[in-house]
Chain A
Amino acid sequence: MSGSAVLGTAAMLLLAGAVYAGLVASPPDAFQGDYVRIMYVHVPTAWTAYLAVATTLVAGVLFLWKRDPRYDALTRSATELAVLFTGLTLATGSIWGRPVWGVWWTWDARLVTTAILFLIYCAALLVRALADDPRRGARLGAVVGILGAVDVPLIHYSVVWFRTLHQPPSITRGEIALAPPMLRALLLSVLAFTVLFAYLLALRVRVARLEDVGDGG
């Protein structure tokens, strides 16, 4: 069994466990009722989006430093996953916001900056695709990915700077405001999405390497 097949199987099993923990084993919320279960998808998706952004940053720096095409394949793959998961974070956030806040969208700083991050990584893919030479495109895409990561601290701290509808983070250092079964479901879901991210990344890197071989790179 190859490494990526092991990751894929682990991701499937963990996701099945997370579905059980989120939908059956955890109680409904006192205020939000069953809508709180959307959290078990939304929070892990946001976490995975940040993970993809961090991977893009590290792989991009390594690529610019070492100029090894393997790091370019990793940067390219992580950028695509950053677009996918920031997009999913926005979608699941809207689906959660509609029943809980009564609106699909609020002009909250965290929402806006997540949308901005989504656009920056779309632009990174565009720059890569529209460069006049694929090797130059790889370098330019890595540079935009690194710059995009500069925006992440703003997203994180904007919830402190702007007092709006978005609820403050439930889990902060030394203070956990979730019931234990809900916390277990959330952590299991975060773990499942992290393994899923690793699986998708491994798969996409393999495809990217095959593309490079096909292009004679």
Chain B
Amino acid sequence: MTGWARAAAVARKDLRMEWRGRAAAVTSLLTGLLLVLVLGVALGPDPARAAAVVWVAVGSAAAVGIPRITQAEADQQALEALLLYPGRREHLYWGKAASLAVLLGAVAAVVLAVAGVLFALPLGGRLVPLAAVTGAGVASLAALGTLLAGLLLHVRGRELLMPLLLLPLALPPLLACIRLTDAILTGTPAGVWPGVLAAAVAVFGLACPILFEVVVDDA
């Protein structure tokens, strides 16, 4: 079995478990939708604020859902078994990151669609650039989130610490997604933000798999 086949097997296993329980997907999605509603009521229906509302909601939804992706490993000491399988731990990281990206991508798509209806956003005709920005934003959140889920596996109160770690560390991609989503919706220039988002994806994509091997190391 090649490394990438192992990564795909881990991703399939995580997605199948999530499909059966749906705990992370449902709680993340409801948190995201709740934040869209609360922020919408608090800030008013101005479409100019919609991009910020969407990405704050997606970031918070991710902070709620991510601790769940290592819940099975934590509950049943299954991480040790996973780590004992032959092959590099990097592939375990990529498998978990891929399943998390699918989960967060679905949450972000629903949050964006609901915000589009509630804020009367002109989403039609802009779906391709919006999907590209959402995909890159979700990729950076998944890359960072997978590392943090592994990092907090053996820390007391990991659900409490996840937002404290994820939201500040993910600030660059979140700010970039807010500005880019706003630029797409209003037709204004994107400025430096595509570069910021690409840099966030590259930095998290390179650093997090290396650091993941350190955090799951039992030595």
Measured CB to CB, the residues of A under 8 A from B are 64, 113, 116-117, 119-120, 122-123, 126-127, 130-133, 136-137, 139-140, 143-144, 146-148, 150-151, 154, 161
Contact = CB atoms under 8 A, between A and B. Distances in A.
A146 B211 contact: yes
A181 to B, nearest CB: 37
Interface in B163-219: 164-165, 168-169, 171-172, 191-192, 196, 203, 207, 211, 214-215, 217
B90 to A, nearest CB: 15
A140 B151 contact: yes
25 contacts: A116-B168, A120-B169, A123-B161, A123-B164, A126-B161, A127-B151, A127-B155, A130-B155, A130-B161, A132-B154, A132-B155, A132-B156, A133-B154, A137-B155, A139-B215, A139-B217, A140-B154, A140-B155, A144-B151, A146-B211, A147-B169, A147-B207, A150-B207, A151-B169, A154-B172
Q: Mostly helix, strand, loop or mixed at chain B's interface?
A: helix
Contacts of B168: 116-117, 119-120, 123, 151
Contacts of B191: 161
Contacts of A143: 147, 151, 211, 214-215
B209 to A, nearest CB: 12
Among B164, B192, B203, the one with the most A-chain Cβ atoms within 10 Å of its Cβ is B164
A47 B154 CA distance: 34
A87 B152 CA distance: 25
Contacts of B203: 150
